[in-house]
Amino acid sequence: MNDIRLQVMWNRLLSVVEEQARTLVRTAFSTSAREAGDISAGVFDVEGRMLAQAVTGTPGHVNSMARSVKHFLAAIPAANMREGDHYITNDPWQGTGHLYDVVVTSPAFHKGKLVGLFSCTVHVVDIGGIGLSPDGRQVFHEGLRIPIMPLAREGVVDPWLVNLIRVNVREPVQVEGDLYALMACNETGERRLAAMLAENGLDDLEMLGAHIIARSEAAMLAEIAKLPKGSWKSHMRIDGMEAPIDLHATLTIAADHIAVDYTGTSAQSGFGINCPLCYTDAYTAFGIRCIIGPEIPNNAGTLDLIRVTAPEGSILNALSPAAVNARSTMGHMLPDVVFGALDQALPGRVPAEGTSNLWNLKLGAGQGLTGATPRPFMVTMFHSGGAGARPAQDGLSATPYPSGVKNVPVEVTETVAPIVVWRKDLRDDSGGAGKYRGGDGQIMEVAHRHGEAFGIFATFERVHHPARGRHGGADGARGVVRLGSGVTLKGKGFQVIPAGDRLIVEMPGGGGMHPPEKE
């Protein structure tokens, strides 16, 4: 089979996984999937190696899902899989880092033979426990933990498991709807893959998979060969929760791989801002791939050349039963940490620091949160501050790098929850000054439609330690969380907006690049 035909089939496989992901977006119930695209989807060979991923989705979901499928195969051997099976987990250490991300992996059959697996992830609106707050002290506080297990066997969904999930969450209709969307997503992938194999007269994915991995690995090795060899160190201090967090990285470029070691990083927290290693790995690899070989497809061939280590018990390799609800608070900062080292090795190629941490408004009300109310709700509004200035361009305003999720239209949130967004503007001059300015953050003002109290599960960074400028550029503005009545709120933890008051969130700006030019 010649290279041209294999390349055509590779492109077709990329279309298969993109249709897989679009099925999830179209059928999901939660706004996080439907509006923000907080998902992932991909196809794997029978050994659990990722061959292709959908563009739709987030790096944290995609790259941690890439490792997760091998956990599924270890728990449920391929020989025990049947057509119509779907397997599920939200285990933070075997999935994508916290309980809110549900992963479903499904075998794909062709002519009665197992030829691969499809996997996908969605961030559900609720999973029980204390909600989206980082206030938990153990993972047991944070909600329902589902080990790797069957969700459906030979096309029959397990009603007992679905009911168990329903009675443990505050939004059972949305969560159950997302479970069915996850299964539909993988079934779409399986149907399209079977059609592709039939059209090309193939019985399995073995030849195409070997080609994809070998070509991708070779391309990535060629990029690594162009780089200077050595080790470079980087450090970033961020807000943390009970104390500031120090993130230390040593990046090493060797002949045949790139390694990042987080030795020296702060110990794991007593609160839910800890990050399992799978999520640390995901965003570290993404930061590297943004600079080195960004045009090379993301699969096992490229990811296996990036090796990430962090000391056990550190905040970037938190061990069970650590609380991990807000693991993205740490994970989203890691591309900036990696850039600090890459800037020394490859000057002029990396951006300044950005807000990085998502400034999502995770809001809720109900018994045990804000008291009795006839209108309990739980909703997440995806929004962001400014990105850092680029090497030769201004930074992007209100742009969620590195997560890549879309901002949720305020009209959508106002439809599904008793919330009114009274203001949503760019926060002028919040980006750091420089020859190239950092991107601006935004200002949002939110109230309860009926004047009732509601709460925010805050997981914000850059409140005390701003995004730093690079090469003489100024730092971005710090973020501010406050009430309309003037009271300043904390950057992290569950807090109540009293009845009749408003929540005002001023999101940080990105750092600038190079000193401002004189007029």
Range in 172-176, 316-320, 378-382, 429-433 the model is least confident about: 378-382
The reply to whether 176 falls in a domain is: yes
**Residue 64 confidence class, pLDDT cut points 50, 70, 90:** very high
Pairing of strands 149-153, 113-123: unpaired
pLDDT, tens only, 330-347: 999 999 999 999 999 999
Percent of the chain with pLDDT over 70: 100
Q: How far apart are CA 270 and CA 92, in angstroms?
A: 17
Contact 165, 141 (CB under 8 A): no
Q: How far apart are CA 432 and CA 247, in angstroms?
A: 22
**Residue 1 confidence class, pLDDT cut points 50, 70, 90:** low
Domain tally for the chain?
2
Here the tokens at position 107 are 């075998």
Q: How far apart are CA 215 and CA 221, in angstroms?
A: 10
pLDDT, tens only, 40-49: 999 999 999 9
Residue type, 283: Y
The reply to whether 248 falls in a domain is: no
Contact 245, 333 (CB under 8 A): no
The reply to whether 329 falls in a domain is: no
pTM for this entry: 0.95
Residue type, 82: R
Nearest alpha carbon to residue 444 among 348, 359, 339: 359
The reply to whether 267 falls in a domain is: no
pLDDT of 373 reads 84
The reply to whether 322 falls in a domain is: no
Q: Is 518 exposed, middle or buried (0-12, 13-18, 19+ CB in 10 A)?
A: exposed
Nearest alpha carbon to residue 303 among 7, 33, 20, 70: 70
Domain with 158 in it? 3-215
Q: Which of 215, 242, 271 is the last residue of a domain?
A: 215
Q: Which of 198, 215, 232 is the last residue of a domain?
A: 215
Cis peptide before 402 (omega within 30 of 0): yes
Q: Which of 215, 246, 268 is the last residue of a domain?
A: 215
The reply to whether 253 falls in a domain is: no
Pairing of strands 306-309, 361-365: unpaired
Burial per residue of 255-288, b for 16 or more beta-carbon CB atoms within 10 angstroms, e otherwise: eeebebbbeebbebbebbbbbbbbbbbbbbbbbb
Hey, what's the torsion of the CAs at 187, 189, 195, 199, to 10 degrees?
-170
Q: Looking at the structure, do residues 355 and 211 belong to the same domain, yes or no?
A: no
Q: How far apart are CA 4 and CA 506, in angstroms?
A: 52
CA 46 vs CA 33, 69, 105, 204: distances in Å: 27, 10, 12, 10
Annotate 491-519 with DSSP letters as a single string. Answer: SEEEEEE-TT--EEEE---PPPBSPPPP-
pLDDT of 519 reads 56
The reply to whether 339 falls in a domain is: no
